Amino acid sequence: MTPAASGEAPAVPHRLIGARVPLVDASLKVTGRAEYTDDLRRPNLLVGRILKSVHPHARIRKIDVTEARKVPGVAAVLTGDRYPRTFGVLPMTHDETALAVDRVRYIGEGVVAVAAVDEETCERAFARIRVEYEPLPVYDDPKVSRNPVAVKIHERALRDTNLQKEVFQHFGDLPGAWRAAAHSVRVSARYAGVTHAFTEPHAVLAEYSPDGRLTVWSATQVPHYLHRALSEVLDLPMHRIRVIKPEVGGGFGGKSDPFPHEIACAALAMETGRPVKIVFDRDDVFYTNHGRHPTWNTVGIAADALGRFTALDVEALLDGGAWSSFGTVTTYYNGVLAMGPYQFPNFRYHGARAYTNHPPSGAMRAHGGTNIRYSVEVAVDMLAEEMGWDPTELRLRNFLPPHSTTVNEFRITSNSVRQCLLAARERSGWREKFRALPYGQGIGIACGFYISGSNSPIHFTPKFPQCTVHLKVDMDGGVTVHCGAADIGQGSKTILAQVVGEVLGIPLDRIRIAAVDSDTAPIDIGSYSSRVTFMMGNAAKRAAEDLRRQLVQAASDLTGYARESLECGGDRIYVRHRPQVGVSFLEAVHRAMEHTGALHASGSYESAPMGGTFKGARAGTAPAYSFSAYAAEVEVDVETGFVRVRKVWAGFDCGRPLNPQSVEGQIEGSIHMGLGQLLSESLNYRGPRLMNPSLLDYKIVMPQDMPEVECLLVGEDDPEGPFGAKEAGEGPLIPVLPAVGNALYDALGVRFLDLPITPDKVLRALEEKERREGRLSKPAPPAVMPVPAGGTDHAPR
């Protein structure tokens, strides 16, 4: 980290940084002029469709496409044997193919791809395709897959099981700590699979031109990984492939793998020499899935007599579905992300991810950190109750301090989790409400943390920066920003413009964002792991500082004042102590261009080495972490079991918010998504068959069901973030689930450990409680209540 890129105080007040800047592409989006992949047209365009498997697990004996090829209007029919090379987002677990080769592993897997003049012709061709399947044993339960099996779903599965990955970690002496504990609690919970449900279905357009070049437009979060996968599977060098990311209608992790349909579409374009477009129907999106893993986990927490946590014991079993996808990372994350924001001197984790014949699970917003956090935060609540403590006090006692190291060697830098908790507690009126609201109403609190960019790029050889930004200035005085970072609606283009504009002291309309086109954009590794603002922001800041040096030199030549005395701002470069003396930005540009032509500048970001030396040590390491504490108030209709979340107080530490309006948007959207997983969303399987592949039957939260949200942005500047910023894209999802779960306990005296908490489950739980206890009543208040106004001041250990 160079000093220039650290969060040093700027010489002049921020103008664009910290301002509520509307998205730079908002006017295109509100007029319907923003171009998504399905909006693109090419001359002589063909429609591509993929015939999908109706079997969950079967050997393919034979595929006969002879008759399909004869259908008038069909341009190409492609089967898996044409491009059998495997790929996958992680280099060590390639197990996907563009189309099924010899075997299908889930209902919905692509088997044959057809390109034709229109959709109806594709369907006519499908009707003439004969596929002979030989059914194989079906595995739809990870508890079965973890044991010895008759047929392995993939040869690479561990031993004689269908496990894809297993993780064992042990730090300190967990059994010893457990024996010595004064208090302990254990929680087991299960979580249905949920999916991203972005509004734009997957879409891809590919064209192969006579000069041997392939162009692919795709709704992707990871243009660079797609670029690599296309090159590997199609056996084309990367320099003959151009990947363009148009506007993307939401991703949330669901567009962060290179996908078979993207490769199949490119293959059809190569086969036909004509442009081909594949647009998914909504059920295709559901079968493609890659959503959050169905999960079974157990969390044990032990504490000493003073309320200090002494041990954390975690087990997790994940249903990975048919492919690996990000699964190795998911398996680690479900353990290593259990610990923060608390300090645990002893930690043990056993995690396993099983292949099954379900559609593949993958990365979804707050990947690997959501389900385990619910169990941990519920366990903390239960421990507080057992000890007779207020749960906020127990949390305050155990927070990781800023600038510390966890037992598994995560480097923690800025950390305002205390401020988050104190703000949420005070604003929510916790003291007056906790255990004191009428039966059926309750308040709960929970904390969280998340990586602000995975420290390890997925491809770490050769060693490239994780993000590079190029700036180009021509005689028109416009600054063009070239960057491979994928804006999927989170606003990364706007952050780029704000950072460059801030450093150069120019208005946003001078800045053009050219993203993403692999022909012109340097590499950014993608929009995942909440890395973009942090890494791209730093790269952009360095590029802009490089350009500023050139322009300040030019202004110095023109004014005769030393470079050190000059300042950029208000579209000018001027003398700091005599602001009326200076040159316009354009004058400085023209002077700097003399004898060189267009100006260029570059900046990049590469995170510092970190983490321990044990196996899996890099998983979960990040250059910074966001922290959070949410309070939530709920009201339950005990007649219908319907849960209404009234309000969420969201204490969040994203360092310095570069654009508070965007940060609020991320928090509000995260609360929407988190409440969906908690209360209504579930991929319902009957055996291997997905029963609800539509937005009608997969219920996301509707406008009238959203709670009021109060965002409390209390973070301090992070020493390494751009202008002090950290992530706000994924971390905000995590605490809302356990905050509401704990609020439901406060309201009803029932712990809900089977998500989603649908009204029928609420009613069943209440009936059972009444039968057991003879009445319905709230839990008793704790003996230790928080000190009012101003809070307590437990010094961190």
Candidate residues 662, 677, 680, 758; the one interacting with another protein per rule CB under 8 A: 662
- Pairing mode of beta strands 183-191, 754-755: parallel
| DSSP-derived secondary structure for 711-755 | EEE-PPPPSSSGGGB---SSGGGTTHHHHHHHHHHHHHS----EE
Per rule CB under 8 A, is residue 615 in the interface with another protein?
no
Per rule CB under 8 A, is residue 28 in the interface with another protein?
yes
- Give the per-residue contact string, 759-788, with another protein (x = CB under 8 A; - = no): ------------------------------
Candidate residues 275, 457, 491, 731; the one interacting with another protein per rule CB under 8 A: 491
User: Closer to another protein at the Cβ: 249 or 501?
Assistant: 249
Q: Name the one range near another protein by CB under 8 A: 602-610, 616-624, 702-710, 715-723.
A: 702-710
User: Closer to another protein at the Cβ: 31 or 596?
Assistant: 31
Q: How far is the CB of 644 from another protein (least distance, A)?
A: 13
Q: Two tokens at 87?
A: 């790929």
Distance, in Å, from the CA atom of 269 to the CA atom of 267, rounded to the nearest integer, reads 5
Per rule CB under 8 A, is residue 22 in the interface with another protein?
yes
From the number of C-beta atoms within 10 Å of its C-beta (0-12, 13-18, 19+), residue 471 rates as: buried
Q: Are the C-beta atoms of residues 726 and 625 closer than 8 Å to each other?
A: yes
Q: Two tokens at 716?
A: 């301090």
Q: Is 149 helix (H, G, I), strand (E, B) or coil?
A: coil
Distance, in Å, from the CA atom of 549 to the CA atom of 229, rounded to the nearest integer, reads 39
Per rule CB under 8 A, is residue 31 in the interface with another protein?
yes
Q: Name the one range near another protein by CB under 8 A: 190-198, 233-241, 718-726, 741-749.
A: 190-198
Hey, how many other C-beta atoms are within 10 angstroms of the C-beta on 427? 15
Which of the 8 DSSP states describes residue 565?
G
- Give the per-residue contact string, 107-136, with another protein (x = CB under 8 A; - = no): ------------------------------
Per rule CB under 8 A, is residue 672 in the interface with another protein?
yes
Candidate residues 673, 740, 747, 755; the one interacting with another protein per rule CB under 8 A: 673
Per rule CB under 8 A, is residue 248 in the interface with another protein?
yes
Q: Name the one range near another protein by CB under 8 A: 192-200, 312-320, 518-526, 592-600.
A: 192-200
Token pair 């509307």 is at which residue? 22
Per rule CB under 8 A, is residue 691 in the interface with another protein?
no
User: Closer to another protein at the Cβ: 189 or 515?
Assistant: 515
Q: How far is the CB of 211 from another protein (least distance, A)?
A: 29
Per rule CB under 8 A, is residue 250 in the interface with another protein?
yes
The residue among 419, 511, 527, 516 whose CA lies nearest residue 472 is 511
Q: Two tokens at 382?
A: 């239960």
User: Closer to another protein at the Cβ: 28 or 475?
Assistant: 28
Distances (CA, A) of 581 to 325, 574, 588: 58, 6, 13
User: Closer to another protein at the Cβ: 280 or 574?
Assistant: 280
Per rule CB under 8 A, is residue 709 in the interface with another protein?
yes
Per rule CB under 8 A, is residue 664 in the interface with another protein?
yes
The residue among 673, 302, 649, 734 whose CA lies nearest residue 444 is 649
Candidate residues 34, 54, 101, 117; the one interacting with another protein per rule CB under 8 A: 34
Q: How far is the CB of 669 from another protein (least distance, A)?
A: 5
User: Closer to another protein at the Cβ: 118 or 773?
Assistant: 118
User: Closer to another protein at the Cβ: 291 or 351?
Assistant: 291
Q: How far is the CB of 70 from another protein (least distance, A)?
A: 27
Per rule CB under 8 A, is residue 575 in the interface with another protein?
no
The residue among 191, 653, 749 whose CA lies nearest residue 444 is 749
User: How many chain residues are in contact with another protein, going by CB under 8 A?
Assistant: 56
Sheet strands (E) in 81-227 = 103-104, 110-116, 130-135, 163-171, 183-191, 203-209, 213-218
Per rule CB under 8 A, is residue 695 in the interface with another protein?
yes
Per rule CB under 8 A, is residue 43 in the interface with another protein?
no
Q: How far is the CB of 667 from another protein (least distance, A)?
A: 8
Distance, in Å, from the CA atom of 444 to the CA atom of 631, rounded to the nearest integer, reads 6
Q: Are the C-beta atoms of residues 268 and 276 closer than 8 Å to each other?
A: yes
Per rule CB under 8 A, is residue 41 in the interface with another protein?
yes
Per rule CB under 8 A, is residue 27 in the interface with another protein?
yes
Per rule CB under 8 A, is residue 247 in the interface with another protein?
yes
User: Closer to another protein at the Cβ: 297 or 490?
Assistant: 490
Per rule CB under 8 A, is residue 197 in the interface with another protein?
yes
The amino acid sitting at 691 is M
Q: How far is the CB of 516 from another protein (least distance, A)?
A: 15
Distances (CA, A) of 196 to 228, 365, 531, 597: 24, 8, 19, 47
Q: Are the C-beta atoms of residues 105 and 356 closer than 8 Å to each other?
A: no
Please list, residue by residue across 709-723, b when 16 or more beta carbons sit within 10 angstroms of its beta carbon and e when fewer do. bbbbbbbebbbbbbb
Per rule CB under 8 A, is residue 38 in the interface with another protein?
yes
User: Closer to another protein at the Cβ: 196 or 541?
Assistant: 196
User: Closer to another protein at the Cβ: 341 or 707?
Assistant: 707
User: Closer to another protein at the Cβ: 20 or 130?
Assistant: 20
Candidate residues 703, 771, 790, 795; the one interacting with another protein per rule CB under 8 A: 703
- Give the per-residue contact string, 278-317, with another protein (x = CB under 8 A; - = no): -x-xx-----------------------------------
Q: What angle do CA 664, 646, 294 make, to 5 degrees?
A: 75
Token pair 């971390």 is at which residue? 731
User: Closer to another protein at the Cβ: 31 or 580?
Assistant: 31
User: Closer to another protein at the Cβ: 238 or 700?
Assistant: 700
Q: Name the one range near another protein by CB under 8 A: 159-167, 241-249, 289-297, 576-584.
A: 241-249
Per rule CB under 8 A, is residue 25 in the interface with another protein?
yes
Please list, residue by residue across 53-76, b when 16 or more beta carbons sit within 10 angstroms of its beta carbon and e when fewer do. bebbbbebeebebeebeebeebbb
Per rule CB under 8 A, is residue 1 in the interface with another protein?
no
Distances (CA, A) of 646 to 248, 352, 679, 731: 32, 37, 14, 21
From the number of C-beta atoms within 10 Å of its C-beta (0-12, 13-18, 19+), residue 423 rates as: buried
Distances (CA, A) of 199 to 557, 694, 753: 53, 12, 29
Per rule CB under 8 A, is residue 610 in the interface with another protein?
no
Q: Name the one range near another protein by CB under 8 A: 331-339, 421-429, 507-515, 665-673.
A: 665-673
In degrees and rounded to multiples of 5, residue 163 shows phi and psi of -80, 135
Sheet strands (E) in 126-263 = 130-135, 163-171, 183-191, 203-209, 213-218, 241-244
Distances (CA, A) of 37 to 164, 215, 279, 366, 367: 34, 13, 9, 26, 26
Q: How far is the CB of 603 from another protein (least distance, A)?
A: 26
Q: What angle do CA 412, 10, 534 make, to 5 degrees?
A: 40
Per rule CB under 8 A, is residue 252 in the interface with another protein?
yes
Which of the 8 DSSP states describes residue 796?
P
Per rule CB under 8 A, is residue 426 in the interface with another protein?
no
Per rule CB under 8 A, is residue 61 in the interface with another protein?
no
Q: Are the C-beta atoms of residues 18 and 657 closer than 8 Å to each other?
A: yes
Candidate residues 158, 661, 689, 753; the one interacting with another protein per rule CB under 8 A: 661
Per rule CB under 8 A, is residue 490 in the interface with another protein?
yes
Per rule CB under 8 A, is residue 23 in the interface with another protein?
yes
Applying CB under 8 A, the residues found at the interface with another protein are 20, 22-23, 25-36, 38-39, 41, 196-201, 247-250, 252, 279, 281-282, 488-491, 661-662, 664-665, 668-673, 694-696, 700-704, 706, 709
